[in-house]
Amino acid sequence: MTLAPERTARPSAPPEADAGPGRTGPAIGRAVDRVDGLAKTTGTARFSAEYPIPGLTHAVLVHAPIARGRIRSIDVAQAEAHPGVVLVLTHLNAPRLTPPPTRMNPMDLSTMAAGSSIAFLNTDEVHVDGQPVAAVVAETLESAQYAASLVRVDYETITPTADFEAELPTAKAVRSMPVLPPTGGKRGDARAAYTKAPVQVDLSFTTPQHNHNALEPHATTAVWDGKKLTVYEGCQNIDWTQKFLAKRFDVPASDVHVVSKYVGGGFGGKSKVWAATLITCMAAQVAQRPVRLALTREGVYRTVGGRTPTRQRVAIGASRTGQMEALIHQATSRKGRVGGEADQIISCSLDLYDAATILAEQKIVELDLMTNTAMRAPGEAQGSFAVESAVDELAIELGLDPVELRLLNQPVDKSPVHGTRYSHRRLAQALEQGRDLFGWADRPAPGTRDGKDLVGWGVAAAIHPAWEFVANVQLTVDATGSATLACAFHEMGMGTATVVGQMVADCLGVPLERVSALYGDSDLPMGPGAGGSGQTASLAASIEKACQAMRKRLDALASKSGMPDGSDPAEVLTRAGEQSLTVEVGADTGPKAMWGQVRFLSKMVMDSRRWMKAATGAHYCEVRVDADTGELRIRRWLSVFDVGRVVNPKTTHSQLRGGIVMGLGMAMGEETLIDTRTARIMNPSLAEYHVPVHADVPHLDVHTLDDPDPQMPLGILGAGEVGIVGVGAAVANAIRHATGRRVTDLPLTLDRIVG
């Protein structure tokens, strides 16, 4: 792999060469084209369902159309008799797996890969609608598809509990867990302070369930060679996938090979090991043939977790001059009876504003629905809609400009709830720069009309915590001067493979064109998961270390040849008569790996006690609302983000834009419709689940401050998720400005806007 030559060098702002840790040079900060761009646009990039495998068979799932019950009998005779069918796998003939872990183990984070506690095809129980109860394997996909429709299942059914609103009274309190993001927090007595506050805003909000719609539906190709398993799987965590499959199939992790070179979007939906992956591996084991299973779009809705719905209350008390006296944020989410997590819905409220008192708490209900899972900014996406809408309402109540109110209540140097210091805090700058670039001073009067449309301008702030994970890397420099970084990281389209080259080039002091990266394969050193917006920063930390170690060894070699420090690596190696040099950071196995994990966790805990690190941003938008019908159009969008150092403006801005587009989907249309009588998703398709179409998305003007965070590796804060945070509120606030109506329920459909 060689890096493509730079074609569009248009960084939004030049990086400060001397700011922050690490070396900056010509590669970091350049808008370099993606290294995988050509392969993807010409169709030669091979995704997990595209590997040519000799003797391949195709599998199709049979989904239960009931949400709770038991299989009384299952008739596979007709399916088995269909021409081309190799195997019909059910709970009666599937291999017994080690049961899934029931709880997360901090010393083995791969336990988090369990999508649910259901023992797929190892039980006659049905726990969620759409649960796979059989898989048909055939020589062709068409044969498997038809045979799957011939499987007859007789169920004993139990009425499911699936109505989130109706079950709210059963909600239980959620306790914050160490290592996991916060689900609660307290500063002073917010209830008392709210009661006394002269200006009060108290609003209730709802957000619906959302489901994952990555362009590439989940797909698995499984090949057994004796006791060794190879799995081609587009995933967000190769390490978890490898270890989790090893445990379930009771084989050593070293016997499970996970190949995940290209991932067609993940957004959190590919972090866990879902039913189809397990079933594909089981089927391949029984059939003794390679098996491929690509989920249908409906299959993704039915077997992969989505984003939890929420009900939220935000109450803010303020002085007449706008100082926040009390901020109360209470949220309830749901999980499945068979698993799922509480999204950190209130986390925004812990760090957006320096309210004198803060109370944030969460509850959760359990339903007979598919477990929920991470979806881009899990928690922050829903929570920011509530808190940033309430802040806007407070500004109206106070007669203050909403930007001014936000600036007035910015924390200076410490996190209001935890007391930890901000490593750096640039939200005020983002708000101010956005205000100037958008021309906020010319904001029209509320309810201004332009022809048939009402015009509204809205603003909202965004925050997303920065995460770092373990990244083991191997760096090799050879006598031709080429550098290769090897690490099982994930390229889901965000540009990681590209920015890794830029970081190595600068940290090692070699031209970008001489750097390549090997990734997406469990045979490589263990990489960080692609989640929590933390992959690039995690890689940066290890790349810096590896490059420093490499420079030391090169300089030692150089001095033997009488050459000065920092000499050209090719020359150093050639003179020393060496073919190549390799350094490693971290270890995958043995005691070193365990110590690595301990060091990682203790650093994470220490760090979280010392520093609050987060990406922040400000969204500004203009909407048009048809005065007759309530139809909403976004006319103008501008966002300014602090994501720390911007390694590659092209890929970073693209990722931020993607976050905003996904936020617009959440704002305007996305909603999973569950029939609460049957606990069944009724709109499992892109026709009826409304993601935005091109015509819904205006030009998105994205800016970054490009200011390195002094406490993050190479100053990088991560850009994967902050883009979506606050988008819904910015739109709702613009609608309020246009129409005078405060819409507190997502999506912001025209019936809610007109009222």
Partner 1 sequence: MKPISYAVPASIDEALAAIVDLPGAKFLGGGTNLVDLMREGIETPEVLVDVTRLPLAEITETPAGGLRIGAAVRNTDLAANLAVRQRYPVLAQAVLMGASGQIRNMATVGGNLLQRTRCLYFYDAAAACNKRDLGSGCGAVAGHNRMGAILGASEHCVAVHPSDLAVALVMLDAEVEVASRTGTRRIPIQDFHRLPGESPHLDTTLAADELVTAVTLPAEPLAASSRYRKVRDRASYAFALVSVAAALEVTNGTVSQARVALGGVAHKPWRATTLEQYLAGRPATDEEFAAAARAELAQAVGTPSTEFKIELAVRTITATLRRLRDEGGAA
With residue 551 as reference, give the H or E element that holds it. helix 535-560
| List 218, 619, 680, 737, residue binding partner 1 (CB under 8 A) | 680
Binding residues among 705-724 for partner 1 as defined by CB under 8 A: none
With residue 739 as reference, give the H or E element that holds it. helix 727-739
| List 181, 299, 317, 692, residue binding partner 1 (CB under 8 A) | 692
Q: Judged by CB under 8 A, which stretch of 39-47, 216-224, 388-396, 671-679 contacts partner 1?
A: 671-679
Instruction: Return the residue matching tokens 């420093």.
Output: 548
Residue 589 burial class via C-beta count within 10 angstroms: exposed 0-12, middle 13-18, buried 19 and up: exposed
Positions annotated as catalytic residues are: 721
Residue closer to partner 1, measured from CB, 658 or 669: 669
Q: Measured between alpha carbons, how far is 136 from 153 in angstroms, rounded to an integer?
A: 14
Q: Judged by CB under 8 A, which stretch of 91-99, 139-147, 544-552, 727-735 contacts partner 1?
A: 139-147
| List 215, 412, 445, 693, residue binding partner 1 (CB under 8 A) | 693
Q: Judged by CB under 8 A, which stretch of 353-361, 426-434, 672-680, 738-746 contacts partner 1?
A: 672-680
| List 631, 654, 701, 742, residue binding partner 1 (CB under 8 A) | 631
> Does residue 78 touch partner 1 according to CB under 8 A?
no
Q: Judged by CB under 8 A, which stretch of 504-512, 682-690, 706-714, 729-737 contacts partner 1?
A: 682-690
> Does residue 152 touch partner 1 according to CB under 8 A?
no
> Does residue 675 touch partner 1 according to CB under 8 A?
yes
- Does residue 507 contact residue 468 with C-beta atoms inside 8 Å? no
Dihedral, 654, 655, 657, 660 alpha carbons, nearest 10: 170
> Does residue 574 touch partner 1 according to CB under 8 A?
no
Instruction: Return the residue matching tokens 């689900």.
Output: 183
Which DSSP letter does residue 488 get?
Answer: B
Q: Judged by CB under 8 A, which stretch of 186-194, 305-313, 595-603, 690-698 contacts partner 1?
A: 690-698
With residue 257 as reference, give the H or E element that holds it. strand 256-259
Sign of CA dihedral 163, 165, 169, 173: positive
Q: Measured between alpha carbons, how far is 159 from 315 in angstroms, rounded to an integer?
A: 37
Q: Name the pairing type of β-strands 57-63 and 291-294.
A: parallel
Residue closer to partner 1, measured from CB, 339 or 692: 692
Picking from 711, 718, 495, 535, the residue whose alpha carbon sits closest to that of residue 615 is 718
> Does residue 687 touch partner 1 according to CB under 8 A?
yes
| List 77, 81, 96, 142, residue binding partner 1 (CB under 8 A) | 142
Binding residues among 439-498 for partner 1 as defined by CB under 8 A: 452
Residue closer to partner 1, measured from CB, 209 or 330: 209
> Does residue 731 touch partner 1 according to CB under 8 A?
no
- Does residue 355 contact residue 240 with C-beta atoms inside 8 Å? no
> Does residue 688 touch partner 1 according to CB under 8 A?
yes
Q: How far is the CB of 673 from partner 1 (least distance, A)?
A: 5
Q: Which residues contact 599 (CB under 8 A, 6 or more apart)?
A: none
Q: How many residues bind partner 1 (CB under 8 A)?
A: 32
> Does residue 741 touch partner 1 according to CB under 8 A?
no
Q: Measured between alpha carbons, how far is 379 from 398 in angstroms, rounded to an integer?
A: 28
Picking from 492, 545, 494, the residue whose alpha carbon sits closest to that of residue 520 is 492
| List 46, 683, 741, 742, residue binding partner 1 (CB under 8 A) | 683
| List 18, 413, 442, 628, residue binding partner 1 (CB under 8 A) | 628
Q: Binding string, 33-72, against partner 1, x = CB under 8 A?
A: --------------------------------x-------
Q: How far is the CB of 260 from partner 1 (least distance, A)?
A: 29
The secondary structure of 354-417 as a DSSP string is: --SEEEEEEEEEEESSPPB---SSTTHHHHHHHHHHHHHHHHHHHT--HHHHHHHT--SSB-TT
- 502-to-32, 253, 497, 498, 517 alpha-carbon distances in Å: 8, 32, 9, 7, 10
Residue closer to partner 1, measured from CB, 412 or 693: 693
> Does residue 677 touch partner 1 according to CB under 8 A?
yes
Binding residues among 193-232 for partner 1 as defined by CB under 8 A: none
Structural tokens at position 473: 């890397």
Residue closer to partner 1, measured from CB, 150 or 283: 150
Q: How far is the CB of 695 from partner 1 (least distance, A)?
A: 4
Count of other CB atoms within 10 angstroms of residue 480: 12
Maximum Cα interatomic distance, the chain, rounded to a whole number of Å: 82
> Does residue 696 touch partner 1 according to CB under 8 A?
yes
User: SS3 for 85?
Assistant: strand
The residue type at 699: H
| List 669, 708, 718, 726, residue binding partner 1 (CB under 8 A) | 669
Integer Rg of the chain from CA: 26
Q: How far is the CB of 372 from partner 1 (least distance, A)?
A: 20
Q: How far is the CB of 475 from partner 1 (least distance, A)?
A: 47
Q: Judged by CB under 8 A, which stretch of 131-139, 215-223, 466-474, 693-701 contacts partner 1?
A: 693-701
| List 92, 166, 179, 682, residue binding partner 1 (CB under 8 A) | 682
- Does residue 182 contact residue 350 with C-beta atoms inside 8 Å? yes
> Does residue 695 touch partner 1 according to CB under 8 A?
yes
Give me the residues that bind partner 1 (CB under 8 A), please: 65, 142, 145-146, 149, 452, 628-631, 633, 668-669, 673, 675, 677-678, 680, 682-683, 687-688, 690, 692-696, 749-751, 754
